[in-house]
Amino acid sequence: MKKTLLVILIVILGIIGFNWYQSTQTLKTANASEWDLKLVNVNHRLDSNFVPNLTTVDNGQQLDSRVVSSYEKMTTAAKSAGATLVAGSGYRSYAQQEQVLNRNIESREAKGMSATAARSDALKTVNQPGASEHQTGLAMDFLTPREQKAGSDVTQSFAKTKQGKWLAANSWKYGWILRYPENGKNSTHISYESWHFRYVGKRNASYIYHHHLTLEQYIAKISN
Ligand SMILES: [Zn+2]
């Protein structure tokens, strides 16, 4: 009996030690200048001519060709778990982002806002061109089949769907992270987006998920 307990204890300590070792190795070897850790936000903008190599996935959406295989593995696993995902919005060009922003500004002006007020209000929810992670081709906004059928845009209620829950719990296994978590706004400058996932590679995703970090916090940690 005592021997069995001892063996169990050794196994548990072994697992803890192995996980700790893996974590430290991830931090040591992670390199913020790798393509899959490309940081794009309001302080780190892309040039207007930045265009990745693109591959079309489902629903006419495109991603950086290098992340397509992990994307397909993830969506196939989700489907098997009964959480069919629909690609809502993947790669968006600089010009498309500019159009999205302009449409948002114009609709506010149409409601009577001044040009300045309309612009600053629109920028609360829409990124400036060059500051959107969608231009990297490494991010995807997901929809449920029901949302797609209804012609709906992304919604906050995605978090409560089977799809949203599955992604939040499992995407890291495929190298994807929930990019804008709840309470992450101080570092990401963007409010909670339960539908927006970003490829960072398996080891980075595992570390970020298990240590509850944002991409900005992780990059700061490995750049020290
Ligand atoms: Zn998005």
Same domain, 141 and 175: yes
Q: What percent of the chain has pLDDT over 90?
A: 75
Q: Are 54 and 137 in contact (CB under 8 A)?
A: yes
Same domain, 75 and 148: yes
Same domain, 71 and 107: no
Indicate the residue type of 36. Answer: D
User: Which residues make beta-bridge pairs with 138?
Assistant: none
Same domain, 182 and 205: yes
Q: Ligand 1 centre and the CA of 39: distance in Å?
A: 14
Q: Is residue 176 part of a domain?
A: yes
Q: What's the confidence (pLDDT) of residue 177?
A: 98
Q: Is residue 15 part of a domain?
A: no
Q: Ligand 1 centre and the CA of 20: distance in Å?
A: 32
Q: Cα angle at 154 between 139 and 208, to 5 degrees?
A: 40
pLDDT in tens, 71-97: 999 999 999 999 999 999 999 999 999
Q: Is residue 26 part of a domain?
A: no
Q: Ligand 1 centre and the CA of 195: distance in Å?
A: 7
Same domain, 103 and 205: no
Contacts of residue 220, Cβ cutoff 8 Å, sequence gap at least 6: none
Q: Ligand 1 centre and the CA of 8: distance in Å?
A: 45
* Structural domain harbouring 113: 93-131
CA distance 195 to 214: 15
Q: What's the confidence (pLDDT) of residue 24?
A: 81
pLDDT in tens, 147-187: 988 888 788 899 999 999 999 999 999 999 999 999 999 99
Number of domains in the chain: 2
Same domain, 74 and 161: yes
pLDDT in tens, 183-211: 999 999 888 999 999 999 999 999 999 99
